[in-house]
Structures are given as C-alpha cells and as structure tokens.
Structure 1
Amino acid sequence: MVEFTDIGDVPSAEVDRMRAVYQPLADSVRELVDATIRTEMDADTVAAVRAEIDAATARLRSRQIDGAFGVRYTTGGDSLAWGNPVIGVRNPIAPPLTIERDLEDARGRVFTDFHLGAAYEGPPGHVHGGVAALILDHVLGEVAAHADTPRFTGTITLRYLRTTRLGRLHAEAAITRTDGIKAYAVGHLADEDGVTVEAEGVFIQPRWARG
C-alpha cells in the first residue's frame, strides 16, 4: 500500500511557510553535492568541511520522522510529495522538476524545463541513462495520473537516440489513449539540439484505488 497521509486542515499559508523553511535547505545541500564532486581542495580542508557536515547532519537528525516522507495531502487540496527524487522540494537528489500543464492541449500535455549538472553525469559531460529514465518515467506518470485517479507505471519503453548533454533540458509527455484502468502515454527528453530520448508507457490504476 502506498503511503498517502492526510495531514488535515493545514492552511495554504502554512504550506508556503514550510516550503520556505525546507526548500532552501535542500537547495544548499544540492549545491554541496555539486561542490563535493568538483572540489579540488586539500585534504585538511576537506577533513574540516566533513566535520562541519557531520555536525550539521547530527543536528538535523536530532528531530526527524521515522521512515520515508510519503505523499501528504491537506484538506485544502495541497499535495506534498516533498521527498520525491524528481520533484521533491525537500530532496537534494531531485533537480527538482516543476511540472507545467498545457491546459489547451486535449491530450493533457505536461512539460518541464530544468537543469542537470555534475551529480547526474553518466558518460563524460552527459546525463546518465538511468537518470533520463527516472525523469521520463515521472513525467509520463504525471500526465497519466490525476488526483482522483492515481496510476502507476505498468511498463515503460525508452529509445535512446543519442546522449543527452548536461545543462538545460526539456521533457514533456501526453496521453495517447485510455482504456479502463490503463492510460497510455508518450514523451521525450531533449537538450538544446533536440530530442535525445523517446519514451512510451502504460500506467495502471492500482486495485486499492478502483471504485
């Protein structure tokens, strides 16, 4: 069973306050990850920084939840998937992506523009193929699911046309058709020179969410 938690009557202003507290922390850790990969400081400096990081980690761990963050909903309709590795504003692993919806597209098209740096490298200077798959799985899943109709990945097929350069990227997806509990979606990832990875998938409504 997927962990969806109703956190009750939390005003949108409180959600904004929590975002303002925790998103900058994730941003700072994301910068730390990039700096850790690319630094050329001497051993003594690295050791001193490591001690500072360990001390900061201990402070944060002194008060924390058990297990994963899950997805939390407020009675006001806010969805907080803040631990998600693609869109999670509290997750330094996430780029993070901001998913936009094309309200004029009958296929429900979604799209996102984002940046991937050194932490996402596979082939030198290029995005790891597994990271490309992670992003496309999420973007296709976003278009296939709705708040009242969750759907999870059944199958997804990727076609890598060429390597994807690190830097500014674009991803998008659209529904091709629905059939009962299934939704069929297609999408792609692109860098500044065009499409690099194409994807198509089948997304299925889980048994516990069916009427």
Structure 2
Amino acid sequence: MSVDDNPDAAEAVYASLTNSVRRLVDATIRSQVDLATIASVQQKIDAAADELCAALMPGSFGLPETSDGRTLTWGNAVIGVRNAFAPPLSVHHRSDGSVWTDVTLGAAYEGPAGHVHGGVCALILDHVLGAAAHKPGHPAVTGTLSVRYEAGTPLGPVHAEAHIDRVDGVKTIVVGALATSQGISVRAEGIFFHPPAAAR
C-alpha cells in the first residue's frame, strides 16, 4: 500500500510506528535494566533499523504532495507523525484568529532536572506563533523570535497559545506564551513573513 492509495491509512500506520519509537526513546532514557539486557535490546533495535533501512528515500522527507493535493508534513520536527522527536503538536484555531495547543513533554525533552529544555520551549513557541501568522496557501516563515523565560517549565502537560499582535507592511508580529498548571513560564514575540511561493 502506498501513501497515494490511502493517505489516512498510511498516516495511521506511520503514527503507530512513531509512537512505538517514542516509547522506546523514553524507555532508553529511564530504563534501569541490567547491562546484559541493554546489549540484547540493542541487537533487536539494530535488526529493526536494518529492516527499515532496506528502502530509504534520499535526503530529507521534505513536503511531498499526494495525488489528491495533500501536503505531507510527516517529517516535521514539531508536528511530524513520522518524526519521533516531534512531541507532536496539534494546533487548534479559534474564530478570532488565535491558536493554541496542549501537549505532554516527557523525559526526551528534559534540560534542567525535571524541566523542559529551554530550546524545546522556543521550538514549540516558534511553531505556534508561525501557525498564528499562517495564511491559507501562504505559510509564514520566521524572521526573528524573541523568547523570555519567566520560570522553569516542568515536564508534563504544557499549553501554548499565540495571536497576531499587529501587521507592519510585510511583517506580521505575533505574540504568545507557554504555560503549565503553575502559570506562564515562557513568553515570545516573533516577526513573520510570507514569501512568494517560488521562494519556499
């Protein structure tokens, strides 16, 4: 079965595989099994990787399109269903143009003990602010991103949201924040642009 045959079914299969890899990453970080067990597991992982490597696309995943015109972002570092690094985010749009997402960040995203790495916080905010600046058919690209860390972000459930603050010529200025049950931990402001289709 190819992606074009049934994109939804293919997405479900890849998403399931990626969730298994995410579980493996978490277990790799937190496992306390003995070294002999680790060596045995490594052999199994290598065997599984060899199977997947039997047919690899060249280079990166990119932004391929299906026969029905759907653009696949499956390799994306923030929302990619085939990328085990991606949390992944599911961004929701409100009627007023603002956006939000809820996601749980576990051991794979740790920086300071028990807290989300600051770079991961910035990654999430960059994507969410960009989603707020997005125009149908004209994705936004980041010009600058200013991030202010007001508190540590504990691992676990986090909420991010953003909205357009103003438009200044070709610049769209977006503001947003990342929060936990303890309140806002990170604020951000970004300047976004909408390049011509040929430049993307």
Aligned residue for 1:68? 60
Aligned counterpart in structure 1 of residue 164 of structure 2, from 158, 168, 175: 175
* 2:150 corresponds to 1:161: yes
Aligned residue for 1:50? 42
- Is there any run of 5+ residues in structure 1 with no aligned partner, and where? 1-8
- Is there any run of 5+ residues in structure 2 with no aligned partner, and where? none
Contact 2:102-2:157 within 8 A present in 1 as well: yes
Q: Map Cα deviations across residues 99-127 of structure 1 (whole Å, 9 max, x no partner).
A: 1111x21xx11100010000000110000
Aligned residue pairs total: 197
| CA–CA separation in structure 2 for the residues paired with 1:66 and 1:115 | 32
Contact 1:149-1:209 within 8 A present in 2 as well: no
| CA–CA separation in structure 2 for the residues paired with 1:61 and 1:180 | 47
Contact 2:138-2:195 within 8 A present in 1 as well: no
| CA–CA separation in structure 2 for the residues paired with 1:126 and 1:190 | 13
Q: Which amino acid aligns with 1:184?
A: I
Contact 2:153-2:179 within 8 A present in 1 as well: yes
Aligned residue for 2:185? 196
Aligned residue for 1:4? none
| CA–CA separation in structure 2 for the residues paired with 1:208 and 1:97 | 25
Aligned residue for 1:5? none
| CA–CA separation in structure 2 for the residues paired with 1:117 and 1:167 | 6
Compare 18-27 and 179-188 and name the one that shifted more: 179-188
Normalised TM-score (structure 2): 0.93
Q: Residue 60 of structure 2 aligns to a residue in which SS?
A: coil
How far did residue 82 of structure 1 move?
0.6
Q: Which amino acid aligns with 1:65?
A: M
Alignment of 1:3-42 (within 5 A): 10=4, 14-42=6-34
Normalised TM-score (structure 1): 0.88
| CA–CA separation in structure 2 for the residues paired with 1:148 and 1:182 | 17
Compare 17-26 and 66-75 and name the one that shifted more: 66-75
| CA–CA separation in structure 2 for the residues paired with 1:38 and 1:158 | 30
Q: Residue 158 of structure 1 aligns to a residue in which SS?
A: strand
Q: 1:34 to 1:172 in 2, by over 3 A?
A: same
How far did residue 78 of structure 1 move?
2.7
Aligned residue for 1:113? 102
RMSD, aligned CA = 1.7
Compare 201-210 and 77-86 and name the one that shifted more: 201-210
Q: Residue 79 of structure 1 aligns to a residue in which SS?
A: coil
How far did residue 147 of structure 1 move?
3.5
Aligned residue for 1:140? 129
Q: 1:159 to 1:90 in 2, by over 3 A?
A: same
Q: 1:100 to 1:173 in 2, by over 3 A?
A: same
| CA–CA separation in structure 2 for the residues paired with 1:75 and 1:141 | 27
Aligned residue for 2:51? 59
Q: Residue 63 of structure 1 aligns to a residue in which SS?
A: coil
